[in-house]
Amino acid sequence: MSSDVTHFSILDSVPESKAYDYEMLFEKLKNELSKFGLTANQSKVYLFLEKYGPSTATQVSKTLKVPRTETYHLLTNLQNKGIVSATFQHPIRFSALSIDKAIGVLINAEKERVKNLESQEKNLVKLWAAIPNFKVNQEDIKDGKFQMLQGVNQMTGKINDMISGAKQSIQILASEKDSMKFYHAGFLERINDTNTEAQIISSTSKKTSYIFEGRLKDKVKRLPLKVKEDLCFIIKDDDELLLFMKNPSESPQNIIAMWTDSFSMVYTLKLLFTYIWSNSRYL
């Protein structure tokens, strides 16, 4: 598979002063579409067809600098999702649904998927209950557990669980970019609405400090410059940790994080957080 291309080469014909702004808008749209299940290259092909009109696979391949074989795969996947259609003429030309209709199609598909899962829930529980319990050791695991999470949906659920389950404290260390993501996902608002003690270390600049509202204003310190921004984790009370495995090239759907309730892991990151907190200044 080819690496992701960051801009449309067709923008080369646009004045430089405008091209950069358009590229940024395309990037933002591409990131937003990833939340609807599209890969970076699927989003790129869809946006090209939607904005520039019906095109052949060759035109798409050449303009976006994506290998022709991969282009056909991308177009097929987009057709299967119902947001791109093809003509019977030769050569075949592909066109995209308008973005509002495409988003509607993707949302309805996801609703149907969830509806199907919900309809299977009772049956699965019933089948499972019919199988006897074969556990020999009924004691709870005390050495700590861990769970690998992938994608925005899994992490959103886990973070919400940690916030709602917190009885004493929530501690967050995050870059400015990650802090903005937490803000747009509603996590900071939820923390602000709880009675738990919050401590946040972020590289947030004055420009984005508005994301910390209400009682959070006095709970945020600026991440020291000597600390790399690749680090991002959340600690709930003294018993849960969510550590993000940062990879700049990953799309939001492929982000990976590790959740654990291991005492040693939580304690280690707690010590790190406390050290950085004591060497940081309030915003």
Instruction: Answer whether residue 90 is part of any domain.
Output: yes
Rounded-to-integer distance, Cα 8 and Cα 25, Å: 11
Cα dihedral across residues 75, 79, 85, 91: positive or negative = positive
- What pLDDT tens digit does each residue of the chain (283 aa) get? 444 444 455 555 555 666 667 778 888 888 889 888 899 899 999 999 998 899 999 999 999 999 999 999 999 999 999 999 998 888 999 999 999 999 999 999 989 988 888 888 888 888 888 888 776 565 555 668 899 998 888 899 999 999 999 999 999 999 999 999 999 999 999 999 998 999 999 998 888 999 998 889 899 999 998 787 789 999 999 999 999 987 655 666 678 999 999 999 999 999 999 999 999 999 8
Q: What CATH number is associated with residue 25?
A: 1.10.10.10
Rounded-to-integer distance, Cα 265 and Cα 138, Å: 25
Please name the amino acid found at residue 7: H
Token pair for residue 151? 């994608």
For residues 147 and 259, the answer to whether their CB atoms sit within 8 Å is yes
pLDDT of residue 19: 64
Instruction: Answer whether residue 3 is part of any domain.
Output: no
Token pair for residue 178? 């990650």
Q: Is residue 179 domain-shared with residue 262, that is, in the same domain? A: yes
Q: Which domain holds residue 198?
A: 146-282
Q: Is residue 155 domain-shared with residue 219, that is, in the same domain? A: yes
pLDDT of residue 94: 95
Instruction: Answer whether residue 49 is part of any domain.
Output: yes
pLDDT of residue 30: 85
pLDDT of residue 45: 95
Q: Is residue 210 domain-shared with residue 270, that is, in the same domain? A: yes
Number of domains in the chain: 2
In 53-204, alpha helices (H): 57-64, 68-80, 99-129, 152-165, 176-184, 187-192
For residues 7 and 26, the answer to whether their CB atoms sit within 8 Å is yes
